């Protein structure tokens, strides 16, 4: 692991970088338009990191899971009064006991996982999603004609599996029914391409 990757594993470093680069409209668009987090819903945040998204959500029943002990410790310290943070993986036996959720968030997660890892994870999340719930994904993307800086940043990301929009779609459609797909280039203060999907259980379509 290079120095850049090691630094980004430190919660305070990653949080500072996000705060500097993120435009104000991103802070509003993700929770209100993408997640549609209404008060009282149940939310599972997979790969939650330091739980930053919780500061932008209304009063919800929130569970954040991550395999990074340092991130979970930081999240619990900062936001433990508003949610539960667990060092847990979807493959772990206790995951199934968490039950079902109205929203399952994969914010910046898929581009860290290989195709095979996605194929193993997504069916487990399908079972954990409530019948009328939404799976929400948000990842950097590599697309033809995008700004060269956006392409470079996607390739330099610590996640090794930045994909085209079509490839993300193909992976999700193996398990879920996609309800919406949004590509944006304006959420950071530098050129950057992200794709967001909202999907439902196949049996809810």
Instruction: Enumerate domains of the chain plus CATH numbers.
Output: 3-204 (3.40.50.150)
Burial class, 46, CB count within 10 angstroms (exposed 0-12 / middle 13-18 / buried 19+): buried
Instruction: Tell me: pLDDT of 10 over 50.
Output: no
Cβ contacts of 99 within 8 Å, gap of 6 or more: 128
pLDDT tens column, 175-202? 999 999 999 888 777 777 889 999 999 9
Structure tokens belonging to residue 157: 């990301």
Instruction: Tell me: pLDDT of 2 over 60.
Output: no
> For the residues of 97-121, what is the DSSP string, one character each?
GG--EEEEEEET-GGGS-HHHHHHH
More confident residue, 82 or 21: 82
pLDDT tens column, 113-167? 999 999 999 999 999 999 999 999 999 888 888 777 767 666 666 668 889 999 9
CA distance 191 to 150: 5
Instruction: Tell me: pLDDT of 18 over 70.
Output: no
- Res 23: pLDDT: 62
């Amino acid at each position: 692991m290079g120095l850049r990757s090691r630094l980004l594993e430190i919660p305070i470093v990653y949080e500072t970088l996000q705060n500097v680069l993120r435009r104000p409209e991103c802070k509003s668009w993700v929770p209100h338009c993408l997640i549609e987090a209404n008060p009282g819903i149940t939310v599972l945040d997979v790969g939650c990191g330091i739980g930053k998204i919780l500061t932008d959500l209304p009063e919800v029943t929130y569970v954040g899971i991550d395999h990074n002990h340092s991130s979970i410790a930081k999240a619990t310290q900062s936001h433990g009064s508003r949610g539960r943070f667990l060092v847990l993986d979807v493959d772990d036996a206790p995951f199934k006991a968490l039950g079902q959720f109205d929203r399952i968030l994969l914010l910046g997660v898929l581009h860290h996982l290989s195709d095979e890892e996605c194929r193993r994870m997504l069916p487990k999340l399908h079972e954990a999603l409530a019948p009328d719930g939404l799976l929400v994904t948000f990842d950097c993307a590599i697309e033809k004609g995008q700004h060269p800086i956006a392409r470079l940043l996607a390739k330099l990301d610590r996640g090794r599996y930045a994909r085209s929009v079509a490839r993300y779609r193909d992976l999700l459609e193996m398990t879920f029914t996609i309800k919406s797909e949004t590509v944006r280039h304006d959420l950071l203060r530098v050129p950057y391409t992200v794709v967001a999907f909202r999907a439902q259980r196949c049996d809810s379509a």
